[in-house]
């Protein structure tokens, strides 16, 4: 690949990221302009897909259908494109054509029969593990009573602990060939860059191990590409030989190939991971499915890699945290089986526990109890406050027992998926 190709890659990425930012700000008209600019550089299915989404939001359904057709033409094995084309065609008043597109999505992936259930389940479980479930008016309430203050502190730190489950997680799916460390195009294009501390540690590591830096690292001078500076974290832009640059891992030569690519997991939104296909090549640091520089310098992986989890990885991190699965259960299962188990387990967790109405109602009752105690603390009525704290404790104990019962039922059903 020439340097010009790197420059074009970054320009396309810049236009696409700008469009995403503009969509976030609600400036859809300008977003369309940027997506068109990205397409002018390269005709990629994912940009056409983004364009179809924006046009759909603006109400230009015919334009959206046209853009989605182009995405389908460029990536005909992507089920979500057919599914979304079905939604557009329904809005256009063509349920007959929509049905055809939906059938194509299901033919490529049976899970499209229950896609709404899957995406909803992913949202529910993800929300539960973000640790934000306790409203701020409760967790941050200033109270005078020591017992109540301790209760609020415990709830706050419990929420943070849950939030840490998904922070820089280590994926427990041992049978995965680490699809997420395979890339079509250079890692530079995907924003995988190395910060100064990790780079220092890596250079020392290379000296110790006799590794030639040029075999594993590549440097890109950011000045060569207009806008490049806005695409990388500022701390990852470092001076190398006096030139402001980003450093990123090279790739190995052997592409993933069609056989392993059949078992690719999906993203957390159940979308295809567009940067991995049969031609994707592994990062230079991938050794036997593991990151060989994971703990070099005492930092887990690279910042840009460490937060990624596909849907399968995400579900198994959650299941591992709950103590429902371990290495022994997963051993011997193929990636295809684990991808499928992950989706079923996700739905069981969402419907049986984290989105379960009975559990949610009991959680609301606990919160109301806590709010009543906070109110009594403010009113200064200690007798009533003691009563409310005792009531809260009863409610909380009941809620814990109920949730444990539902978790146990979910555990049994999920264990059954492995047999
Ligand atoms: S996050 Fe997904 S793709 Fe990456 S190693 Fe885990 S299961 Fe494999
Ligand atoms: S640096 Fe490690 S985690 Fe990141 S892509 Fe390479 S092998 Fe994977």
pLDDT digits (tens, 9 = 90+) for 377-418: 999 888 999 999 999 999 999 999 999 999 999 999 999 999
pLDDT at 1: 47
Instruction: Decide if 309 contacts 169 (C-beta within 8 A).
Output: yes
Please state the atom number of ligand 2 nearest to the C-alpha of residue 285.
7
Say if residue 62 is in the same domain as residue 135. no
Task: Enumerate long-range contacts of 258-264, CB under 8 Å, 24 or more apart.
Answer: 260/177, 260/179, 260/335, 262/336, 263/334, 263/335, 263/336, 263/339, 264/179
Residue 171 DSSP label = P
Say if residue 152 is in the same domain as residue 87. no
Closest C-alpha to 5, from 49, 51, 41: 41
pLDDT at 230: 87
Q: Per the domain annotation, does 192 fall within a domain? A: no
Q: Give the span between the Cα atoms of 191 and 102, in whole angstroms.
A: 34
Band of the pLDDT at 88, cuts 50, 70, 90? very high
Say if residue 98 is in the same domain as residue 141. no
> Could you give the 3-state DSSP secondary structure of residue 218?
strand
How many angstroms separate the Cα of 336 from the Cα of each of 4, 35, 310, 342?
Answer: 38, 34, 14, 10
Read off the pLDDT of each residue in 121-139 and give the average, rounded to a whole number. 83
The residue whose CB lies within 8 Å of the most ligand 2 atoms, and thus the one to mutate among 183, 202, 248, 302, is 302
Q: Per the domain annotation, does 18 fall within a domain? A: yes
Name the residue with higher pLDDT: 166 or 41: 41
C-alpha of residue 52 to centroid of ligand 1, in Å: 29
Q: Relative to the alpha carbon of 301, which ligand is closest?
A: 2
Say if residue 102 is in the same domain as residue 153. no
With a 6 A CB cut-off, is 280 part of the ligand 1 pocket? Answer: no
pLDDT at 262: 86
Residue 249 DSSP label = E
Instruction: Decide if 304 contacts 156 (C-beta within 8 A).
Output: no
Give the count of domains, the chain.
2
Say if residue 14 is in the same domain as residue 76. yes
Please state the atom number of ligand 2 nearest to the C-alpha of residue 304.
4
pLDDT at 299: 75
pLDDT at 133: 63
Band of the pLDDT at 131, cuts 50, 70, 90? low
Band of the pLDDT at 132, cuts 50, 70, 90? low
Say if residue 21 is in the same domain as residue 54. yes
pLDDT at 168: 76
Please state the atom number of ligand 1 nearest to the C-alpha of residue 172.
6
Read off the pLDDT of each residue in 267-291 and give the average, rounded to a whole number. 93
C-alpha of residue 258 to centroid of ligand 2, in Å: 21
The residue whose CB lies within 8 Å of the most ligand 2 atoms, and thus the one to mutate among 246, 290, 301, is 301
What are 107-116's pLDDT values in tens digits?
A: 999 999 999 9
Of 73, 108, 143, the one marking the end of a domain is 108
Q: Relative to the alpha carbon of 181, which ligand is closest?
A: 2
Q: Give the span between the Cα atoms of 300 and 319, in whole angstroms.
A: 21
Q: Relative to the alpha carbon of 169, which ligand is closest?
A: 1
Q: Per the domain annotation, does 238 fall within a domain? A: no
The residue whose CB lies within 8 Å of the most ligand 2 atoms, and thus the one to mutate among 216, 291, 310, is 291
Q: Per the domain annotation, does 13 fall within a domain? A: yes
Q: Give the span between the Cα atoms of 122 and 311, in whole angstroms.
A: 8
> Could you give the 3-state DSSP secondary structure of residue 87?
helix
Q: Per the domain annotation, does 275 fall within a domain? A: no
Q: Per the domain annotation, does 303 fall within a domain? A: no
Say if residue 28 is in the same domain as residue 104. yes
Give me the CATH number covering residue 68: 1.25.40.10
Q: What percent of the chain has pLDDT over 70?
A: 99
pLDDT at 110: 96
Say if residue 16 is in the same domain as residue 89. yes
Weakest mean pLDDT among 122-136, 142-156, 239-253: 122-136
- Residue 406's domain comprises 130-164+356-417
Q: What percent of the chain has pLDDT over 90?
A: 79
Say if residue 45 is in the same domain as residue 101. yes
Closest C-alpha to 105, from 87, 127, 129, 130: 87
Say if residue 24 is in the same domain as residue 93. yes
Q: Relative to the alpha carbon of 317, which ligand is closest?
A: 1
Read off the pLDDT of each residue in 258-276 and give the average, rounded to a whole number. 91
Q: Per the domain annotation, does 365 fall within a domain? A: yes
Q: Per the domain annotation, does 298 fall within a domain? A: no
Band of the pLDDT at 136, cuts 50, 70, 90? confident
Of 108, 141, 172, the one marking the end of a domain is 108
- Residues with Cβ within 8 Å of 51's Cβ and at least 6 positions away in sequence, in order, are 32, 35, 36, 39, 67
Read off the pLDDT of each residue in 179-192 and give the average, rounded to a whole number. 93
Read off the pLDDT of each residue in 249-266 and give the average, rounded to a whole number. 92
**In whole numbers, what is the pLDDT of the chain averaged over residues?**
92
Say if residue 103 is in the same domain as residue 16. yes
């Amino acid at each position: 690949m020439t340097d010009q190709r790197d420059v074009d890659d970054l320009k396309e990425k810049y236009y696409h990221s700008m469009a995403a930012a503009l969509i976030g700000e609600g400036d859809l008209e300008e977003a369309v302009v940027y997506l068109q600019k990205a397409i002018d550089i390269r005709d990629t299915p994912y940009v056409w897909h983004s364009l179809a989404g924006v046009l759909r939001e603006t109400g230009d359904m015919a334009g959206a259908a046209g853009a989605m057709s182009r995405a389908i033409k460029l990536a005909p094995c992507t089920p979500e494109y057919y599914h979304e084309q079905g939604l557009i065609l329904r809005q256009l008043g063509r349920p007959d054509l929509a049905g055809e597109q939906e059938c194509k999505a299901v033919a490529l992936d049976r899970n499209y029969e229950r896609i709404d259930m899957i995406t909803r389940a992913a949202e529910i479980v993800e929300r539960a593990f973000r640790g934000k479930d306790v409203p701020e008016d409760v967790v941050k309430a200033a109270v005078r009573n020591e017992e109540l203050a301790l209760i609020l502190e415990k709830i706050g730190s419990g929420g943070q602990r849950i939030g840490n489950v998904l922070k820089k997680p280590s994926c427990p799916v041992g049978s995965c060939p680490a699809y997420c460390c395979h890339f079509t195009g250079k890692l530079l294009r995907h924003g995988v860059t190395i910060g100064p501390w990790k780079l220092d540690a890596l250079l020392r590591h290379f000296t110790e191990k006799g590794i030639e830096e040029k075999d594993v690292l590549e440097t890109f001078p950011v000045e060569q590409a207009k806008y490049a500076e806005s695409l990388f974290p500022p701390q990852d832009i470092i001076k190398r030989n006096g030139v402001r640059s980003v450093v990123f891992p090279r790739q190995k030569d052997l592409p993933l190939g069609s056989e392993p690519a059949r078992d690719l997991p999906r993203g957390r939104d159940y979308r295809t991971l567009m940067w991995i296909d049969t031609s994707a090549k592994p990062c230079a640091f991938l050794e036997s499915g593991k990151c060989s520089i994971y703990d070099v310098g005492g930092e887990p992986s690279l910042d840009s890699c460490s937060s990624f989890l596909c849907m399968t990885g995400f579900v198994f991190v959650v299941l591992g945290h709950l103590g429902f699965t371990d290495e022994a259960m997963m051993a011997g299962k193929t990636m295809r089986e684990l991808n499928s188990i992950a989706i079923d387990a996700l739905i069981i967790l969402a419907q049986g526990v984290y989105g379960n109405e009975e559990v949610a109602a009991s959680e609301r009752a606990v919160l109301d109890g806590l709010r009543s105690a906070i109110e009594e603390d403010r009113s200064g009525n200690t007798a009533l406050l003691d009563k409310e704290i005792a009531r809260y404790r009863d409610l909380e104990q009941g809620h814990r027992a109920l949730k444990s019962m539902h978790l146990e039922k979910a555990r049994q059903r999920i264990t059954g998926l492995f047999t």
